[in-house]
Amino acid sequence: MITVDNKWKAAGYVTEPVPEGVDMKAEIRRMCKEKNAVIMAHYYTEGEIQDIADFVGDSLALAQQAARTDADIIVMCGVHFMGETNKILCPGKKVLVPDLNATCSLAESCPAKEFGEFVKAHPSHTVISYVNTTAAIKALTDIVVTSGNAMQIVNSLPKDEKIVFGPDRNLGNYINSVTGRQMVLWNGACHVHEKFSLERILELKAAHPDAKILVHPECKGPVVKVADKVGSTAALLKFSQEDSAKEFIVATESGILHKMQQACPEKTFIPAPPDDSTCACNECNYMKLITMQKLYNCLKYEWPEIEVEKEVAEKAVKCINRMLELSK
Ligand code: 13P
Ligand code: SF4
């Protein structure tokens, strides 16, 4: 019986080195087979993580896939809220995230106590939360959305419905501007998407006039305005494959370039630069915490495991299921 070392618990992941001579990739695949485990990965993880995964997707597709998998173990190579969503949808399965430190700045920008007060201050409003939230926030929510279905779900509600939307003010503003609604917004943002520089994107566009600009709706309004396509990671990937342009300027986390380039090796994908050229701000430092070594150890020791309090999960599952129903 393998027990989880206390040091590992403190670190949030299994820190043990992979034994010398072990073929890590082959072992990961072997363990998946032996344990009936499935590896899911988000487009922002490192390329080698995406390549070894059974399923790679945006946050909507990852939730849909979790709801239908018959695996006993789900290894979610992504951030904590993605593991929580999977666990809420599959309470009987073991859900693992290779590093518990992989959180999300949006989820962190929305503490449950304050959000609860915000909701209380807006009675008779429907509460819509972006999936990038903790389970505790989902327990306070009527409908969850992702960037892939937010517009469709908001549009499905009566025009005069009063809505509270959190935590991403940029996605909320974008929905308000397209739908003409006046959703009341929580003031949160993603540290990666907030940093893209309009000026530097326009400089790139001047140098590559035929390039199409792809923008995730977590970016600030002025960046969204210059986009040829605004959408979730999956929507941007699809557009880059279907559009006739040969060059694309990509204003979202740079991990998505891996799949874009794999699907269209003949096209050129230029990562949009952040406003501070001294940092790699177009990388999500949380997603990049997921490494092959941590994935290997996580499968080996079946830890770190995601737990969600039963009472919270029972409330949260309703708003996630409502999203899945509405986005069929
Ligand atoms: P997608 O829903 O587009 O995959 O985005 C998730 C995310 O975390 C964006 O920052
Ligand atoms: Fe969260 Fe931003 Fe990272 Fe997406 S890119 S997981 S919103 S911190």
Compute the residue count for the chain.
328
Q: Is 192 near ligand 2, meaning CB less than 6 Å away?
A: yes
Please count the other Cβ atoms lying within 10 Å of the Cβ belonging to residue 310.
Answer: 8
Q: What global pTM score does this model have?
A: 0.96
Q: In this model, does residue 183 exceed pLDDT 80?
A: yes
- Ligand 1, residue 231: give the atom nearest the CA: 3
CA of 107 to the centre of ligand 2 (A): 9
- Ligand 2, residue 78: give the atom nearest the CA: 6
Residue 96 pLDDT class (50, 70, 90 cuts) = very high
Beta strands 143-145 and 247-251: pairing type? Answer: unpaired
- Ligand 2, residue 81: give the atom nearest the CA: 6
Q: In this model, does residue 252 exceed pLDDT 90?
A: yes
Q: Return the pLDDT at 321.
A: 95
Residue 273 pLDDT class (50, 70, 90 cuts) = confident
Q: In this model, does residue 1 exceed pLDDT 60?
A: no
CA neighbor of 172 nearest in space, from 217, 124, 142 = 217
Average pLDDT over residues 61-66: 95
pLDDT in tens, 98-123: 999 999 999 999 999 999 999 999 99
CA of 198 to the centre of ligand 2 (A): 19
CA of 40 to the centre of ligand 1 (A): 14
**Ligand 1: which residues within 6 Å by Cβ?**
58-59, 132, 146-148, 190, 218, 232-233
Q: Which protein residue's CA is at the shortest distance from atom 5 of ligand 2?
A: 284
Q: In this model, does residue 276 exceed pLDDT 80?
A: no
Give the chain's mean pLDDT. 95
pLDDT in tens, 219-245: 999 999 999 999 999 999 999 999 999
Residue 213 pLDDT class (50, 70, 90 cuts) = very high
Is residue 166 within 8 A of residue 133, CB to CB? The reply is yes
Q: In this model, does residue 279 exceed pLDDT 70?
A: no
Average pLDDT over residues 187-197: 94
Q: Return the pLDDT at 281.
A: 62
Structure tokens, 287 = 């997603």
Q: Return the pLDDT at 262.
A: 98
Place of tokens 């600009």: 213
- 120: enclosing H helix or E strand: helix 112-120
CA distance 42 to 231: 15
Average pLDDT over residues 61-78: 96
Beta strands 247-251 and 212-215: pairing type? Answer: parallel
Structure tokens, 18 = 């992979």
Is residue 305 within 8 A of residue 95, CB to CB? The reply is yes
CA distance 318 to 132: 16
Ligand nearest to the CA of 230: 1
CA of 21 to the centre of ligand 2 (A): 35
Average pLDDT over residues 303-323: 97
Q: Return the pLDDT at 133.
A: 98
Calculated CA dihedral for residues 110, 111, 116, 121, nearest 10 degrees: -60
Beta strands 184-185 and 163-166: pairing type? Answer: parallel
Q: Is 290 near ligand 2, meaning CB less than 6 Å away?
A: no
**Measured at the alpha carbon of residue 185, what is the angle toward residues 181 and 189, in degrees to the nearest 5?**
125
Q: Is 49 exposed, middle or buried (0-12, 13-18, 19+ CB in 10 A)?
A: buried
Q: Return the pLDDT at 246.
A: 98
Q: C-alpha 272: how far from its chain's center?
A: 19
